[in-house]
Amino acid sequence: MEVLRIATAGSVDDGKSTLIGRLLYETNSITTDRLEAIHKASQRKGIDFVDLSLLTDGLIAEREQGITIDVAHIYFQTPKRKFIIADSPGHVEYTRNMITGASHAEVSVILVDARLGILDQTHRHYYIAHLLRIPNVIVCVNKMDLIGYEEEKFRAIEKQFTEFANQIKAADQRIQFIPISSLYGENITKRSEKINWYKGHALLEVLESLDASPKESTAKSRFPVQYIIRPRTEEFHDFRGYAGRVASGRFVEGDSVTILPSMRTSTIDKIYQYNQVIAQADTRQSVVITLKDDVDVSRGDMIVKTGEEPEQKKELDADICWLNNEPMKGTKTYLMQTGTSLTKAKIASVEYVKIPSTLEQLPATALKMNEIARVKIKTAKGIASDAYKENPSNGSFILIDEYSNNTVAVGFLN
């Protein structure tokens, strides 16, 4: 069974919580005691119907303020797939949460209120889907009931969105539009009869049939070493295995491989998945690799197929989003993590800050929380990375503040 990860974005009151509640409700994912609890909570709030949005707002502060602050994870399953929704808040001050939620997603669902049309926030939501190169974007035009299910308004929104997206859209990203009403369940799990001019599929049908294979599976082979396994038992006396998860590509028994950064070469002896020896390991599989030669390999090293070695660079171009309260300081040294490898790094210069809603580029020297910028980075050690657009898994990184230990930025290498 496949897992599809979805990120949802929308402005407050666009109906995101209602939409998710509706998906859970119509796929029988809500148990009666939860429904009952929500029923009670709805009554306490003086609402005469079951407010499905109460299913998702988890934290006390959120319930008090009636808004979503953090990323919440929601699970449901149909006979076709298992779905994981990362639901994050839509305000500008939560850009970092949106990026966090979207960083695991294969699909971005963007909500637009049919009455209000495209807002600044919609641009920002799309910009994030673009920055993260999420392969599929579904724009749900919600509250169609409030505009009489009228096609013209829907088409106008579709056109306006497309015009904005076309300025930056990557060729391999797919954008689809669906007119919906979350409150009445139109086009959510089955095709709406009220919106008969729409010839496409309902949201759930689209989610069930999207191509979910990661871009990494066709990228060059990368295996960041996580942990060294040395049992030193009688049976496995000289066993030395490299445990990790295939970041991209595929490794096959007998492959010639190069270890980075040392550039030593060897051959794959065996690939273990628990106590089974398997012939090949595909993208995202957690395995243990043994090599024919006794080369020195430790955590942070990367095993790649010989002939597919990435260049090791100490000067990098990247887009970053600043995630921390404390602004970026150009003079400060951060820890940069790519794969399982850590190195000291400095932001040598900020080329510009990008305003997602207008795509403007403004000059800047410092960065505040939630800002997205193009920067140049200098590192102490050479980084064996790929361009994010070709290999997200080996083209993304985080910056860690050595003193607070916080993750302060996320980046995408060019």
Ligand X SMILES: Nc1nc2c(ncn2[C@@H]2O[C@H](COP(=O)(O)OP(=O)(O)O)[C@@H](O)[C@H]2O)c(=O)[nH]1
- The binding site for another protein (CB under 8 A) comprises 1-3, 31-34, 37, 41, 56-61, 63, 69-75, 77, 79-80, 82, 84, 96-97, 99-100, 103-104, 226-227, 229-231, 233, 235-236, 239, 241, 243-245, 272, 274-275, 284-286, 288, 299, 323, 337, 340, 392-393, 396, 398, 400, 405-407, 410
Q: Where are the alpha helices (DSSP H) in 27-173?
A: 32-44, 60-65, 95-102, 120-131, 151-166
The minimum distance between CB 129 and ligand X, in angstroms, equals: 17
Which partner from the list ligand X, another protein, none does 143 bind, CB cut-off 5 to 8 Å by kind? ligand X
C-alpha–C-alpha distance, residues 59 and 251, integer Å: 43
Compare residues 181 and 385 and give the one whose CB is closer to ligand X.
Answer: 181
**β-pairing verdict for 286-291 and 2-9:** unpaired
The minimum distance between CB 289 and another protein, in angstroms, equals: 13
The minimum distance between CB 276 and another protein, in angstroms, equals: 10
The minimum distance between CB 236 and another protein, in angstroms, equals: 5
Q: Which of 13, 308, 351, 390 binds ligand X (CB under 6 A)?
A: 13
Which two structure tokens, joined as six digits, stand for 395? Answer: 């083209």
Closest CA to 408 of 373, 368, 374: 368
The minimum distance between CB 16 and ligand X, in angstroms, equals: 3
The minimum distance between CB 259 and ligand X, in angstroms, equals: 49
Listed as own residue / partner, the contacts of 53-57 with beta carbons closer than 8 Å and 24 or more positions apart are 53/17, 53/18, 53/21, 54/17, 54/21, 55/17, 55/20, 55/21, 55/24, 55/30, 56/17, 56/20, 56/21, 56/87, 57/17
Size of the site for ligand X (CB under 6 A): 16
Residue 402, CB-side half-sphere exposure with 13 Å CA sphere:
10
Which partner from the list ligand X, another protein, none does 398 bind, CB cut-off 5 to 8 Å by kind? another protein
Contact set for ligand X, span 125-164 (CB under 6 A): 142-143, 145-146
Which partner from the list another protein, ligand X, none does 288 bind, CB cut-off 5 to 8 Å by kind? another protein
Compare residues 274 and 363 and give the one whose CB is closer to another protein.
Answer: 274
Closest CA to 22 of 46, 45, 54: 54
The minimum distance between CB 386 and another protein, in angstroms, equals: 14
C-alpha–C-alpha distance, residues 370 and 180, integer Å: 30
Q: Strand, helix or coil at 226?
A: strand
User: Is 5 a binder of ligand X (CB under 6 A)?
Assistant: no
Compare residues 33 and 211 and give the one whose CB is closer to another protein.
Answer: 33
Q: Which of 183, 246, 316, 345 binds ligand X (CB under 6 A)?
A: 183
Q: Which of 5, 7, 14, 338 binds ligand X (CB under 6 A)?
A: 14
C-alpha–C-alpha distance, residues 258 and 277, integer Å: 21
Are residues 101 and 71 in contact, defined by beta-carbon separation less than 8 angstroms? yes
Which partner from the list another protein, ligand X, none does 393 bind, CB cut-off 5 to 8 Å by kind? another protein
User: Is 12 a binder of ligand X (CB under 6 A)?
Assistant: yes
Compare residues 1 and 171 and give the one whose CB is closer to another protein.
Answer: 1
Contact set for ligand X, span 42-61 (CB under 6 A): 53
Residues 6+ apart with CB under 8 A from 44: none
The minimum distance between CB 113 and another protein, in angstroms, equals: 25
Q: Strand, helix or coil at 332?
A: coil
User: Distance from first CA to last CA of the chain, Å, rounded?
Assistant: 34
Which partner from the list ligand X, another protein, none does 268 bind, CB cut-off 5 to 8 Å by kind? none
Which partner from the list ligand X, another protein, none does 253 bind, CB cut-off 5 to 8 Å by kind? none
Torsion (CA) 374, 379, 385, 391 in degrees, nearest 10:
-30
Which partner from the list another protein, ligand X, none does 60 bind, CB cut-off 5 to 8 Å by kind? another protein
Q: Where are the alpha helices (DSSP H) in 188-277?
A: 203-209
Q: How many CB atoms lie within 10 A of CB 406?
A: 14
The minimum distance between CB 243 and another protein, in angstroms, equals: 5
Residues that bind ligand X (CB under 6 A): 10, 12-18, 53, 142-143, 145-146, 181-183
